Structure 1
Amino acid sequence: MTLFVFLAVLSAAAMHAIWNALVKVHLDRFLSITLMTLGMGAAALVALPFVEVPKAEVWPFILASVFFHMGYRTFLIGAYKAGDFAQTYPLARGTAPLLSALGGIVVVGEVPAPFAILGIVLLSAGTLVMSFRGGAHLEKLNLRAVGFALATSIFIASYTLSDGSGARLAATAQSYAAWLFVCDAAWALVLCIAFRGPRSLPVLARDWKAGLFTGVLSGAAYWIVMWAMTKAPIASVASLRETSILFAMLISVLALGEKMTAWRAAAALGIVAGVAALRMG
Protein backbone atom coordinates (compact mmCIF):
# COMPACT_ATOMS: atom_id res chain seq x y z
CA MET A 1 0.00 0.00 0.00
CA THR A 2 1.52 3.30 -1.08
CA LEU A 3 1.70 6.25 1.30
CA PHE A 4 -0.89 8.18 -0.73
CA VAL A 5 -3.43 5.34 -0.58
CA PHE A 6 -2.65 4.82 3.10
CA LEU A 7 -3.32 8.48 3.92
CA ALA A 8 -6.43 8.54 1.72
CA VAL A 9 -8.01 5.64 3.63
CA LEU A 10 -7.12 7.27 6.96
CA SER A 11 -8.85 10.46 5.78
CA ALA A 12 -11.92 8.40 4.81
CA ALA A 13 -11.96 6.85 8.29
CA ALA A 14 -11.80 10.33 9.85
CA MET A 15 -14.68 11.51 7.65
CA HIS A 16 -16.73 8.50 8.69
CA ALA A 17 -16.16 9.31 12.38
CA ILE A 18 -16.90 13.02 11.89
CA TRP A 19 -20.31 12.62 10.25
CA ASN A 20 -21.27 10.04 12.88
CA ALA A 21 -20.28 12.44 15.67
CA LEU A 22 -21.69 15.69 14.30
CA VAL A 23 -24.99 14.82 12.65
CA LYS A 24 -28.04 14.51 14.86
CA VAL A 25 -31.29 13.74 13.05
CA HIS A 26 -34.52 13.62 15.05
CA LEU A 27 -35.78 10.46 13.35
CA ASP A 28 -35.96 6.82 14.31
CA ARG A 29 -33.02 4.71 13.26
CA PHE A 30 -34.68 3.20 10.20
CA LEU A 31 -35.63 6.60 8.79
CA SER A 32 -32.26 8.10 9.78
CA ILE A 33 -30.32 5.45 7.86
CA THR A 34 -32.75 5.74 4.94
CA LEU A 35 -32.26 9.52 4.87
CA MET A 36 -28.47 9.16 4.75
CA THR A 37 -28.73 6.62 1.93
CA LEU A 38 -31.01 8.95 -0.03
CA GLY A 39 -28.49 11.77 0.51
CA MET A 40 -25.73 9.59 -0.95
CA GLY A 41 -27.93 8.77 -3.93
CA ALA A 42 -28.86 12.41 -4.54
CA ALA A 43 -25.21 13.48 -4.54
CA ALA A 44 -24.27 10.57 -6.84
CA LEU A 45 -27.14 11.39 -9.21
CA VAL A 46 -25.42 14.66 -10.05
CA ALA A 47 -22.27 12.76 -11.00
CA LEU A 48 -23.94 10.20 -13.31
CA PRO A 49 -23.63 12.28 -16.52
CA PHE A 50 -19.87 12.51 -15.98
CA VAL A 51 -19.07 8.82 -15.39
CA GLU A 52 -19.24 5.72 -17.54
CA VAL A 53 -22.23 3.38 -17.49
CA PRO A 54 -21.00 0.10 -15.96
CA LYS A 55 -20.36 -2.82 -18.28
CA ALA A 56 -22.66 -5.85 -18.10
CA GLU A 57 -20.19 -7.85 -16.02
CA VAL A 58 -20.08 -5.10 -13.36
CA TRP A 59 -23.84 -5.02 -12.66
CA PRO A 60 -23.95 -8.31 -10.69
CA PHE A 61 -21.52 -6.77 -8.19
CA ILE A 62 -23.61 -3.60 -7.89
CA LEU A 63 -26.83 -5.56 -7.38
CA ALA A 64 -25.15 -7.89 -4.89
CA SER A 65 -23.81 -4.89 -3.00
CA VAL A 66 -27.28 -3.32 -2.83
CA PHE A 67 -28.53 -6.56 -1.28
CA PHE A 68 -25.60 -6.73 1.16
CA HIS A 69 -26.07 -3.09 2.18
CA MET A 70 -29.76 -3.79 2.76
CA GLY A 71 -28.84 -6.71 5.02
CA TYR A 72 -26.24 -4.58 6.80
CA ARG A 73 -28.77 -1.84 7.56
CA THR A 74 -31.42 -4.35 8.63
CA PHE A 75 -29.20 -6.11 11.15
CA LEU A 76 -27.65 -2.81 12.21
CA ILE A 77 -31.11 -1.62 13.26
CA GLY A 78 -31.67 -4.99 14.93
CA ALA A 79 -28.47 -4.50 16.90
CA TYR A 80 -29.80 -1.14 18.08
CA LYS A 81 -32.92 -2.84 19.43
CA ALA A 82 -31.40 -6.06 20.81
CA GLY A 83 -28.71 -4.68 23.11
CA ASP A 84 -26.23 -1.98 24.00
CA PHE A 85 -25.38 -0.57 20.58
CA ALA A 86 -22.21 1.09 21.90
CA GLN A 87 -20.89 -2.46 22.24
CA THR A 88 -22.66 -4.44 19.53
CA TYR A 89 -21.71 -2.06 16.72
CA PRO A 90 -17.96 -2.04 17.49
CA LEU A 91 -18.21 -5.81 17.83
CA ALA A 92 -19.49 -5.90 14.27
CA ARG A 93 -16.85 -3.46 13.04
CA GLY A 94 -14.06 -5.32 14.85
CA THR A 95 -15.04 -8.71 13.43
CA ALA A 96 -15.63 -7.53 9.86
CA PRO A 97 -11.93 -7.00 8.90
CA LEU A 98 -11.10 -10.55 9.94
CA LEU A 99 -13.98 -11.88 7.83
CA SER A 100 -12.90 -9.64 4.93
CA ALA A 101 -9.37 -11.02 5.16
CA LEU A 102 -10.63 -14.62 5.12
CA GLY A 103 -13.04 -13.81 2.29
CA GLY A 104 -10.27 -12.10 0.36
CA ILE A 105 -8.19 -15.26 0.54
CA VAL A 106 -11.04 -17.54 -0.56
CA VAL A 107 -12.98 -15.32 -3.00
CA VAL A 108 -10.36 -12.95 -4.46
CA GLY A 109 -7.24 -15.04 -3.90
CA GLU A 110 -5.45 -12.26 -2.00
CA VAL A 111 -3.22 -13.53 0.80
CA PRO A 112 -2.08 -10.63 3.02
CA ALA A 113 1.61 -10.23 3.80
CA PRO A 114 2.72 -11.26 7.33
CA PHE A 115 2.86 -7.67 8.61
CA ALA A 116 -0.54 -6.97 7.05
CA ILE A 117 -2.01 -9.98 8.87
CA LEU A 118 -0.52 -8.70 12.12
CA GLY A 119 -2.00 -5.27 11.43
CA ILE A 120 -5.47 -6.71 10.73
CA VAL A 121 -5.39 -8.70 13.98
CA LEU A 122 -4.16 -5.73 16.05
CA LEU A 123 -6.73 -3.37 14.54
CA SER A 124 -9.55 -5.83 15.14
CA ALA A 125 -8.39 -6.51 18.70
CA GLY A 126 -8.09 -2.79 19.45
CA THR A 127 -11.57 -2.15 18.07
CA LEU A 128 -13.05 -4.94 20.19
CA VAL A 129 -11.31 -3.68 23.32
CA MET A 130 -12.62 -0.20 22.55
CA SER A 131 -16.16 -1.58 22.46
CA PHE A 132 -15.81 -3.39 25.77
CA ARG A 133 -13.65 -0.76 27.49
CA GLY A 134 -13.07 -1.91 31.02
CA GLY A 135 -15.50 -4.79 30.60
CA ALA A 136 -17.98 -2.99 32.86
CA HIS A 137 -21.04 -3.89 30.79
CA LEU A 138 -19.92 -7.21 29.39
CA GLU A 139 -22.53 -9.08 31.40
CA LYS A 140 -25.31 -7.18 29.61
CA LEU A 141 -24.57 -8.81 26.29
CA ASN A 142 -27.08 -11.45 25.22
CA LEU A 143 -27.07 -14.01 22.46
CA ARG A 144 -29.59 -12.01 20.44
CA ALA A 145 -27.42 -8.89 20.52
CA VAL A 146 -24.29 -10.88 19.65
CA GLY A 147 -26.15 -12.60 16.82
CA PHE A 148 -27.23 -9.29 15.27
CA ALA A 149 -23.69 -7.90 15.64
CA LEU A 150 -22.05 -10.90 13.99
CA ALA A 151 -24.65 -10.95 11.20
CA THR A 152 -23.91 -7.26 10.63
CA SER A 153 -20.20 -8.06 10.36
CA ILE A 154 -20.92 -10.75 7.75
CA PHE A 155 -22.81 -8.24 5.60
CA ILE A 156 -20.02 -5.64 6.06
CA ALA A 157 -17.43 -8.16 4.87
CA SER A 158 -19.72 -9.21 2.00
CA TYR A 159 -20.28 -5.73 0.59
CA THR A 160 -16.60 -4.94 1.11
CA LEU A 161 -15.55 -7.89 -1.04
CA SER A 162 -18.30 -7.23 -3.60
CA ASP A 163 -17.46 -3.55 -3.94
CA GLY A 164 -13.71 -4.13 -4.02
CA SER A 165 -14.11 -6.68 -6.83
CA GLY A 166 -16.69 -4.61 -8.69
CA ALA A 167 -14.67 -1.40 -8.51
CA ARG A 168 -11.65 -3.23 -9.92
CA LEU A 169 -13.71 -4.57 -12.81
CA ALA A 170 -15.41 -1.23 -13.58
CA ALA A 171 -13.94 1.42 -15.85
CA THR A 172 -13.27 3.61 -12.79
CA ALA A 173 -14.04 3.47 -9.08
CA GLN A 174 -15.97 6.73 -9.56
CA SER A 175 -18.42 5.18 -12.02
CA TYR A 176 -18.93 2.12 -9.83
CA ALA A 177 -19.53 4.23 -6.72
CA ALA A 178 -21.93 6.65 -8.43
CA TRP A 179 -24.15 3.92 -9.88
CA LEU A 180 -24.02 1.89 -6.68
CA PHE A 181 -25.13 4.85 -4.55
CA VAL A 182 -28.00 5.70 -6.92
CA CYS A 183 -29.24 2.09 -7.06
CA ASP A 184 -28.88 1.68 -3.30
CA ALA A 185 -30.86 4.89 -2.68
CA ALA A 186 -33.64 3.84 -5.07
CA TRP A 187 -34.03 0.50 -3.33
CA ALA A 188 -33.89 2.15 0.13
CA LEU A 189 -36.73 4.45 -0.94
CA VAL A 190 -38.81 1.48 -2.14
CA LEU A 191 -38.28 -0.32 1.17
CA CYS A 192 -39.09 2.81 3.16
CA ILE A 193 -42.44 3.25 1.39
CA ALA A 194 -43.17 -0.48 1.69
CA PHE A 195 -42.48 -0.63 5.44
CA ARG A 196 -43.46 2.87 6.57
CA GLY A 197 -45.87 3.98 3.88
CA PRO A 198 -46.03 7.22 1.86
CA ARG A 199 -46.49 9.22 5.06
CA SER A 200 -42.79 8.73 5.81
CA LEU A 201 -41.79 10.87 2.80
CA PRO A 202 -42.77 14.27 4.31
CA VAL A 203 -40.93 13.25 7.50
CA LEU A 204 -37.77 12.57 5.49
CA ALA A 205 -38.20 15.77 3.50
CA ARG A 206 -38.17 17.91 6.65
CA ASP A 207 -34.57 16.79 7.38
CA TRP A 208 -33.28 16.79 3.81
CA LYS A 209 -30.35 19.08 4.64
CA ALA A 210 -29.05 16.68 7.28
CA GLY A 211 -29.58 13.78 4.90
CA LEU A 212 -27.67 15.49 2.11
CA PHE A 213 -24.82 16.42 4.46
CA THR A 214 -24.45 12.92 5.90
CA GLY A 215 -24.90 11.40 2.46
CA VAL A 216 -22.18 13.50 0.83
CA LEU A 217 -19.72 12.90 3.66
CA SER A 218 -20.48 9.19 3.94
CA GLY A 219 -20.47 8.73 0.16
CA ALA A 220 -17.14 10.53 -0.24
CA ALA A 221 -15.60 8.44 2.52
CA TYR A 222 -16.77 5.15 1.00
CA TRP A 223 -15.81 6.20 -2.53
CA ILE A 224 -12.25 6.73 -1.26
CA VAL A 225 -12.33 3.23 0.25
CA MET A 226 -13.55 1.67 -3.01
CA TRP A 227 -10.89 3.55 -4.97
CA ALA A 228 -8.26 2.38 -2.49
CA MET A 229 -9.35 -1.24 -2.95
CA THR A 230 -8.41 -0.92 -6.64
CA LYS A 231 -4.89 0.09 -5.58
CA ALA A 232 -4.23 -2.11 -2.53
CA PRO A 233 -5.36 -5.45 -1.02
CA ILE A 234 -9.01 -5.42 -0.01
CA ALA A 235 -8.39 -6.83 3.49
CA SER A 236 -5.78 -4.18 4.31
CA VAL A 237 -8.02 -1.32 3.15
CA ALA A 238 -11.04 -2.74 5.01
CA SER A 239 -9.02 -3.01 8.22
CA LEU A 240 -7.50 0.45 7.93
CA ARG A 241 -11.00 1.86 7.44
CA GLU A 242 -11.89 0.70 10.97
CA THR A 243 -9.57 3.34 12.41
CA SER A 244 -12.78 5.39 12.33
CA ILE A 245 -13.33 3.90 15.81
CA LEU A 246 -10.10 5.58 16.93
CA PHE A 247 -11.07 8.92 15.40
CA ALA A 248 -14.48 8.66 17.07
CA MET A 249 -12.77 8.12 20.42
CA LEU A 250 -10.53 11.15 19.89
CA ILE A 251 -13.57 13.27 19.03
CA SER A 252 -15.40 12.06 22.14
CA VAL A 253 -12.43 12.87 24.39
CA LEU A 254 -11.24 16.14 22.84
CA ALA A 255 -14.56 17.64 21.71
CA LEU A 256 -17.19 16.04 23.96
CA GLY A 257 -15.16 15.88 27.17
CA GLU A 258 -15.45 12.13 27.73
CA LYS A 259 -12.91 10.43 29.98
CA MET A 260 -9.81 8.72 28.59
CA THR A 261 -9.69 5.48 30.55
CA ALA A 262 -6.79 3.04 30.72
CA TRP A 263 -8.73 0.54 28.60
CA ARG A 264 -9.49 3.13 25.93
CA ALA A 265 -5.81 4.12 25.87
CA ALA A 266 -4.78 0.47 25.52
CA ALA A 267 -7.28 -0.03 22.71
CA ALA A 268 -6.00 3.10 20.96
CA LEU A 269 -2.41 1.85 21.20
CA GLY A 270 -3.50 -1.48 19.72
CA ILE A 271 -5.18 0.28 16.79
CA VAL A 272 -2.15 2.52 16.20
CA ALA A 273 0.13 -0.55 16.30
CA GLY A 274 -2.16 -2.21 13.75
CA VAL A 275 -1.98 0.85 11.51
CA ALA A 276 1.83 0.79 11.70
CA ALA A 277 1.93 -2.91 10.84
CA LEU A 278 -0.39 -2.38 7.88
CA ARG A 279 1.83 0.41 6.60
CA MET A 280 4.89 -1.85 6.88
CA GLY A 281 2.99 -4.66 5.18
Structure 2
Amino acid sequence: MTLFGFSLVLFAAVCHASWNFLVKRIEAGPELVFLFSAMSTLVYLPLALWYGRDIIGFEPIHYLFLFGTVILHTGYFVQLQTGYRHGDLSLVYPTARSTGPLLSVSFAVLVLGEQASVQAIAGGVLIVFGVLMLGGGLKARRGDGTLKSLGFGLTVGCFIGAYTVWDAYAVAHLAIAPVLMDWFSNLGRTMIMTPVALRRRAALRLLWKNHWLEALLVGIISPLAYILVLYAMTFTPVLYVAPLRETSVLLAVLLGAIVLKEGDLKRRLKWAVVIVTGVTLLATG
Protein backbone atom coordinates (compact mmCIF):
# COMPACT_ATOMS: atom_id res chain seq x y z
CA MET A 1 0.00 0.00 0.00
CA THR A 2 1.47 3.37 -1.03
CA LEU A 3 1.88 6.31 1.36
CA PHE A 4 -0.44 8.39 -0.83
CA GLY A 5 -3.16 5.77 -0.69
CA PHE A 6 -2.65 5.39 3.06
CA SER A 7 -2.97 9.17 3.63
CA LEU A 8 -5.99 9.43 1.34
CA VAL A 9 -7.95 6.77 3.18
CA LEU A 10 -7.01 8.18 6.60
CA PHE A 11 -8.27 11.65 5.65
CA ALA A 12 -11.45 10.07 4.33
CA ALA A 13 -11.83 8.32 7.69
CA VAL A 14 -11.72 11.65 9.54
CA CYS A 15 -14.38 13.06 7.22
CA HIS A 16 -16.51 9.96 7.70
CA ALA A 17 -16.44 10.11 11.50
CA SER A 18 -17.24 13.83 11.39
CA TRP A 19 -20.41 13.53 9.31
CA ASN A 20 -21.61 10.55 11.36
CA PHE A 21 -21.21 12.65 14.49
CA LEU A 22 -23.29 15.43 12.92
CA VAL A 23 -26.06 13.01 11.90
CA LYS A 24 -26.17 11.56 15.41
CA ARG A 25 -26.26 15.01 17.03
CA ILE A 26 -29.12 16.19 14.80
CA GLU A 27 -31.16 13.01 15.48
CA ALA A 28 -33.85 13.82 12.90
CA GLY A 29 -36.08 11.46 10.93
CA PRO A 30 -35.78 10.24 7.32
CA GLU A 31 -36.24 13.82 6.14
CA LEU A 32 -32.61 14.35 7.13
CA VAL A 33 -31.48 11.74 4.60
CA PHE A 34 -33.47 13.57 1.91
CA LEU A 35 -32.08 16.99 2.88
CA PHE A 36 -28.38 16.21 2.93
CA SER A 37 -28.69 13.99 -0.17
CA ALA A 38 -30.34 16.85 -2.08
CA MET A 39 -27.64 19.23 -0.89
CA SER A 40 -24.92 16.81 -2.00
CA THR A 41 -26.53 16.54 -5.43
CA LEU A 42 -26.45 20.32 -5.86
CA VAL A 43 -22.98 20.90 -4.41
CA TYR A 44 -21.30 18.25 -6.56
CA LEU A 45 -23.31 18.97 -9.73
CA PRO A 46 -20.46 20.90 -11.46
CA LEU A 47 -18.06 17.97 -10.97
CA ALA A 48 -20.72 15.52 -12.09
CA LEU A 49 -21.25 17.51 -15.29
CA TRP A 50 -17.52 17.49 -15.94
CA TYR A 51 -17.24 13.73 -15.55
CA GLY A 52 -20.63 13.22 -17.16
CA ARG A 53 -18.98 13.13 -20.56
CA ASP A 54 -18.06 9.52 -19.79
CA ILE A 55 -21.75 8.53 -19.97
CA ILE A 56 -21.58 8.63 -23.77
CA GLY A 57 -19.58 5.42 -23.77
CA PHE A 58 -21.60 3.65 -21.08
CA GLU A 59 -23.05 0.21 -21.71
CA PRO A 60 -25.98 -1.46 -19.90
CA ILE A 61 -23.59 -2.95 -17.31
CA HIS A 62 -22.52 0.56 -16.27
CA TYR A 63 -26.11 1.67 -15.68
CA LEU A 64 -26.78 -1.52 -13.74
CA PHE A 65 -23.98 -0.69 -11.33
CA LEU A 66 -25.16 2.92 -11.00
CA PHE A 67 -28.66 1.70 -10.15
CA GLY A 68 -27.28 -0.87 -7.71
CA THR A 69 -25.23 1.68 -5.80
CA VAL A 70 -28.33 3.89 -5.42
CA ILE A 71 -30.26 1.04 -3.78
CA LEU A 72 -27.40 -0.08 -1.53
CA HIS A 73 -26.50 3.41 -0.33
CA THR A 74 -30.12 4.37 0.27
CA GLY A 75 -30.56 1.32 2.47
CA TYR A 76 -27.30 2.15 4.24
CA PHE A 77 -28.19 5.76 5.04
CA VAL A 78 -31.75 5.02 6.15
CA GLN A 79 -30.64 2.20 8.46
CA LEU A 80 -27.73 4.23 9.83
CA GLN A 81 -29.82 7.28 10.56
CA THR A 82 -32.53 5.15 12.20
CA GLY A 83 -29.90 3.39 14.29
CA TYR A 84 -28.57 6.70 15.57
CA ARG A 85 -32.07 7.71 16.66
CA HIS A 86 -32.37 4.56 18.80
CA GLY A 87 -28.79 3.93 19.95
CA ASP A 88 -25.41 5.38 20.90
CA LEU A 89 -22.92 6.62 18.32
CA SER A 90 -20.17 4.72 20.14
CA LEU A 91 -22.11 1.44 19.82
CA VAL A 92 -23.89 1.57 16.46
CA TYR A 93 -20.88 3.03 14.64
CA PRO A 94 -18.24 0.50 15.81
CA THR A 95 -20.56 -2.45 15.21
CA ALA A 96 -21.32 -1.30 11.68
CA ARG A 97 -17.72 -0.45 10.88
CA SER A 98 -16.45 -3.81 12.13
CA THR A 99 -19.02 -5.87 10.22
CA GLY A 100 -18.49 -3.93 6.99
CA PRO A 101 -14.75 -4.53 6.46
CA LEU A 102 -15.02 -8.15 7.54
CA LEU A 103 -17.48 -8.76 4.71
CA SER A 104 -15.58 -6.52 2.30
CA VAL A 105 -12.27 -8.31 2.79
CA SER A 106 -13.95 -11.69 2.52
CA PHE A 107 -15.66 -10.70 -0.73
CA ALA A 108 -12.45 -9.14 -2.09
CA VAL A 109 -10.54 -12.39 -1.62
CA LEU A 110 -13.30 -14.83 -2.57
CA VAL A 111 -15.07 -12.90 -5.35
CA LEU A 112 -12.55 -10.40 -6.75
CA GLY A 113 -9.61 -12.78 -6.39
CA GLU A 114 -7.35 -10.27 -4.60
CA GLN A 115 -4.30 -11.59 -2.73
CA ALA A 116 -3.38 -10.75 0.87
CA SER A 117 -0.14 -11.17 2.79
CA VAL A 118 -0.18 -12.81 6.21
CA GLN A 119 0.76 -9.50 7.85
CA ALA A 120 -1.99 -7.60 6.04
CA ILE A 121 -4.58 -10.19 7.05
CA ALA A 122 -3.37 -10.05 10.66
CA GLY A 123 -3.65 -6.25 10.63
CA GLY A 124 -7.15 -6.35 9.18
CA VAL A 125 -8.30 -8.94 11.70
CA LEU A 126 -6.80 -6.90 14.55
CA ILE A 127 -8.62 -3.77 13.38
CA VAL A 128 -11.93 -5.61 13.09
CA PHE A 129 -11.47 -7.20 16.53
CA GLY A 130 -10.53 -3.89 18.14
CA VAL A 131 -13.51 -2.11 16.59
CA LEU A 132 -15.85 -4.88 17.73
CA MET A 133 -14.55 -4.67 21.31
CA LEU A 134 -14.99 -0.90 21.27
CA GLY A 135 -18.69 -1.61 20.91
CA GLY A 136 -18.66 -3.87 23.95
CA GLY A 137 -17.89 -7.16 22.24
CA LEU A 138 -20.59 -9.80 22.59
CA LYS A 139 -21.62 -8.74 26.10
CA ALA A 140 -24.86 -7.08 25.14
CA ARG A 141 -27.09 -6.12 28.03
CA ARG A 142 -30.83 -6.75 27.82
CA GLY A 143 -33.28 -3.96 28.40
CA ASP A 144 -30.92 -1.02 27.85
CA GLY A 145 -31.17 -0.71 24.08
CA THR A 146 -27.83 -2.44 23.48
CA LEU A 147 -29.27 -5.35 21.50
CA LYS A 148 -31.29 -2.97 19.34
CA SER A 149 -28.21 -0.85 18.67
CA LEU A 150 -26.20 -3.97 17.80
CA GLY A 151 -28.96 -5.07 15.43
CA PHE A 152 -28.90 -1.77 13.58
CA GLY A 153 -25.11 -1.82 13.54
CA LEU A 154 -25.00 -5.31 12.02
CA THR A 155 -27.58 -4.37 9.38
CA VAL A 156 -25.65 -1.24 8.45
CA GLY A 157 -22.46 -3.31 8.34
CA CYS A 158 -24.02 -5.67 5.78
CA PHE A 159 -24.85 -2.70 3.56
CA ILE A 160 -21.27 -1.42 3.99
CA GLY A 161 -19.79 -4.75 2.96
CA ALA A 162 -22.10 -4.99 -0.05
CA TYR A 163 -21.65 -1.47 -1.42
CA THR A 164 -17.89 -1.47 -0.82
CA VAL A 165 -17.30 -4.45 -3.10
CA TRP A 166 -20.02 -3.39 -5.58
CA ASP A 167 -18.59 0.13 -5.96
CA ALA A 168 -15.00 -1.09 -5.98
CA TYR A 169 -15.75 -3.26 -9.00
CA ALA A 170 -17.50 -0.35 -10.72
CA VAL A 171 -14.60 2.10 -10.36
CA ALA A 172 -11.74 -0.36 -10.79
CA HIS A 173 -13.07 -2.69 -13.50
CA LEU A 174 -15.74 -0.63 -15.28
CA ALA A 175 -13.79 2.65 -14.98
CA ILE A 176 -16.77 4.65 -13.69
CA ALA A 177 -15.42 7.91 -12.24
CA PRO A 178 -15.76 7.96 -8.42
CA VAL A 179 -17.32 11.44 -8.51
CA LEU A 180 -19.92 10.30 -11.02
CA MET A 181 -20.60 7.11 -9.05
CA ASP A 182 -21.27 9.00 -5.84
CA TRP A 183 -23.27 11.77 -7.51
CA PHE A 184 -25.69 9.32 -9.09
CA SER A 185 -26.03 7.68 -5.70
CA ASN A 186 -27.02 11.00 -4.14
CA LEU A 187 -29.38 11.89 -7.00
CA GLY A 188 -31.12 8.53 -6.87
CA ARG A 189 -31.39 8.63 -3.09
CA THR A 190 -32.92 12.14 -3.26
CA MET A 191 -35.55 10.90 -5.71
CA ILE A 192 -36.37 7.86 -3.59
CA MET A 193 -36.66 9.91 -0.40
CA THR A 194 -38.72 12.75 -1.95
CA PRO A 195 -42.15 11.14 -1.24
CA VAL A 196 -41.07 10.58 2.38
CA ALA A 197 -39.95 14.21 2.71
CA LEU A 198 -43.26 15.44 1.26
CA ARG A 199 -45.19 13.44 3.85
CA ARG A 200 -43.01 14.95 6.57
CA ARG A 201 -43.05 18.57 5.38
CA ALA A 202 -43.48 20.02 8.87
CA ALA A 203 -40.50 18.06 10.20
CA LEU A 204 -38.48 19.04 7.13
CA ARG A 205 -39.20 22.75 7.69
CA LEU A 206 -38.18 22.43 11.35
CA LEU A 207 -35.02 20.58 10.35
CA TRP A 208 -34.13 23.29 7.85
CA LYS A 209 -34.75 26.04 10.40
CA ASN A 210 -32.62 24.51 13.16
CA HIS A 211 -29.98 22.42 11.40
CA TRP A 212 -29.52 23.61 7.80
CA LEU A 213 -25.81 24.29 8.34
CA GLU A 214 -25.10 20.84 9.84
CA ALA A 215 -27.08 19.22 7.03
CA LEU A 216 -25.03 21.16 4.48
CA LEU A 217 -21.80 20.03 6.12
CA VAL A 218 -22.98 16.43 5.97
CA GLY A 219 -23.91 16.97 2.34
CA ILE A 220 -20.37 18.14 1.60
CA ILE A 221 -18.11 15.87 3.65
CA SER A 222 -20.10 12.64 3.31
CA PRO A 223 -19.58 12.42 -0.48
CA LEU A 224 -16.02 13.73 -0.10
CA ALA A 225 -15.15 10.93 2.30
CA TYR A 226 -16.50 8.26 -0.03
CA ILE A 227 -15.14 9.78 -3.25
CA LEU A 228 -11.66 9.72 -1.73
CA VAL A 229 -12.13 6.06 -0.80
CA LEU A 230 -13.43 5.19 -4.27
CA TYR A 231 -10.45 6.96 -5.82
CA ALA A 232 -8.07 5.04 -3.54
CA MET A 233 -9.75 1.81 -4.68
CA THR A 234 -8.70 2.53 -8.28
CA PHE A 235 -5.07 1.83 -7.37
CA THR A 236 -5.27 0.10 -3.97
CA PRO A 237 -6.82 -3.36 -3.31
CA VAL A 238 -10.13 -3.39 -1.40
CA LEU A 239 -8.68 -5.67 1.27
CA TYR A 240 -6.33 -2.83 2.30
CA VAL A 241 -8.77 0.06 1.92
CA ALA A 242 -11.76 -1.49 3.72
CA PRO A 243 -10.13 -2.16 7.10
CA LEU A 244 -8.03 1.02 7.07
CA ARG A 245 -11.18 3.11 6.74
CA GLU A 246 -12.17 1.88 10.17
CA THR A 247 -9.70 4.23 11.87
CA SER A 248 -12.65 6.63 11.72
CA VAL A 249 -13.87 4.69 14.75
CA LEU A 250 -11.14 6.29 16.88
CA LEU A 251 -12.53 9.76 16.30
CA ALA A 252 -16.15 8.62 16.49
CA VAL A 253 -15.59 6.95 19.87
CA LEU A 254 -13.89 10.05 21.26
CA LEU A 255 -16.70 12.28 19.99
CA GLY A 256 -19.32 9.94 21.44
CA ALA A 257 -17.63 9.49 24.81
CA ILE A 258 -16.56 13.10 25.37
CA VAL A 259 -18.83 15.43 23.37
CA LEU A 260 -22.03 13.34 23.53
CA LYS A 261 -21.14 12.13 27.05
CA GLU A 262 -21.67 8.43 26.31
CA GLY A 263 -18.84 7.63 28.76
CA ASP A 264 -16.52 4.61 29.18
CA LEU A 265 -13.59 6.50 27.65
CA LYS A 266 -10.80 4.54 29.37
CA ARG A 267 -11.89 1.14 28.06
CA ARG A 268 -12.51 2.49 24.58
CA LEU A 269 -9.07 4.10 24.41
CA LYS A 270 -7.54 0.74 25.32
CA TRP A 271 -9.15 -0.87 22.30
CA ALA A 272 -8.21 2.16 20.22
CA VAL A 273 -4.55 1.19 20.78
CA VAL A 274 -5.36 -2.27 19.38
CA ILE A 275 -6.83 -0.66 16.27
CA VAL A 276 -3.77 1.58 15.76
CA THR A 277 -1.56 -1.51 15.96
CA GLY A 278 -3.69 -3.19 13.33
CA VAL A 279 -3.45 -0.12 11.09
CA THR A 280 0.35 -0.20 11.36
CA LEU A 281 0.47 -3.86 10.35
CA LEU A 282 -1.94 -3.29 7.49
CA ALA A 283 -0.15 -0.22 6.11
CA THR A 284 3.26 -1.92 6.10
CA GLY A 285 2.06 -5.32 4.89
Give the TM-score, by structure 1 length.
Answer: 0.84
Within a 5 Å distance, the mapping from 1:179-218 to structure 2 comes to: 179-193=184-198, 196-197=199-200, 199=202, 202-203=205-206, 205-206=208-209, 207-218=211-222
Residues 9 and 241 in structure 1, CA contact (< 8 A), matched pair in contact too: yes
2:48 maps to which residue? 48
Cα distance change of structure 1 residues 17 and 179 upon mapping to structure 2, 3 Å threshold: same
1:129 offset after TM fit, Å? 1.4
Does the CA contact (< 8 Å) of 1:38 and 1:188 recur in 2? no
Conservation of the 8 A alpha-carbon contact between 1:25 and 1:32? no
Q: Aligned-pair distance for 1:251?
A: 4.5
Amino acid at match of 2:28: D
Matched, 1:38 2:55: no
Question: Which residue is equivalent to 1:126?
Answer: 130
Distance 2:272 2:146 in 1: 26
Cα distance between partner residues in 2 of 1:87 and 1:67: 25
How far residue 165 of structure 1 moved from its aligned partner, in angstroms, is 1.1
Moved more, 19-28 or 243-252: 19-28
Instruction: For residue 97 of structure 1, report the CA deviation from its aligned partner.
Output: 0.6
CA distance in 2, matches of 1:222, 1:105: 22
- 8 Å contact 1:42–1:212 — kept in the other structure? no
Task: Check whether the contact 2:89–2:256 (CA below 8 A) recurs between aligned residues.
Answer: no
| CA separation of 1:221 and 1:93: change in aligned 2, threshold 3 A | same
Give the unaligned 5+ runs of structure 2. Answer: none
Structure 1 residue runs of 5 or longer lacking an equivalent are none
Other-structure match for 1:64? 68
d(CA) in 1 for partners of 2:253, 2:96: 17
Spell out the pairing of 1:137-216 with structure 2 (5 A cutoff): 138-139=141-142, 140=144, 145-168=149-172, 169-193=174-198, 196-197=199-200, 199=202, 202-203=205-206, 205-206=208-209, 207-216=211-220
Deviates more, 1:16-25 or 1:117-126: 16-25
SS of residue in 2 equivalent to 1:28: coil
Query: Following TM superposition, by how much is the alpha carbon of 1:171 offset from its aligned partner in structure 2, in angstroms?
Result: 4.6
Which is worse superposed, 221-230 or 62-71? Answer: 62-71
Give the Cα separation in 2 of the matches to 1:183 and 1:79: 22
Q: CA deviation at 1:14?
A: 0.8
Aligned to 1:88: 92
Q: Which of the numbers 249, 252, 264 marks the counterpart of 1:248?
A: 252
Aligned residues: 278
Contact 1:38 1:211 in 2 (8 A): no
- Superposed CA deviations along residues 102-128 of structure 1, whole A, max 9, x for unmatched, are 111233222322222112111111111
Query: Which amino acid in the other structure matches residue 89 of structure 1?
Result: Y
- Could you tell me whether the CA contact under 8 Å between 1:12 and 1:225 is conserved in 2? yes
Letter in 2 for 1:45: L
The alpha carbon displacement at 1:6 in A equals 0.4
Residue 117 (structure 1) aligned to one of 114, 117, 121? 121
Residue 104 of structure 1 corresponds to 108
- Shifted more, 152-161 versus 245-254: the winner is 245-254
Per mean C-alpha deviation after superposition, the further-off stretch among 137-146 and 62-71 is 137-146
Contact kept, 8 Å, 2:168 with 2:238, in 1: the verdict is: yes
Alignment correspondent of 1:277 = 281
1:267 lines up with 2:260 in the alignment: no
Shift of 1:272: 0.3
Give me the CA root mean square deviation. 3.0
Q: Provide the rounded CA distance (Å) in 2 between the counterparts of 1:23 and 1:184.
A: 17
Q: CA deviation at 1:91?
A: 1.2
TM-score (norm 2): 0.83
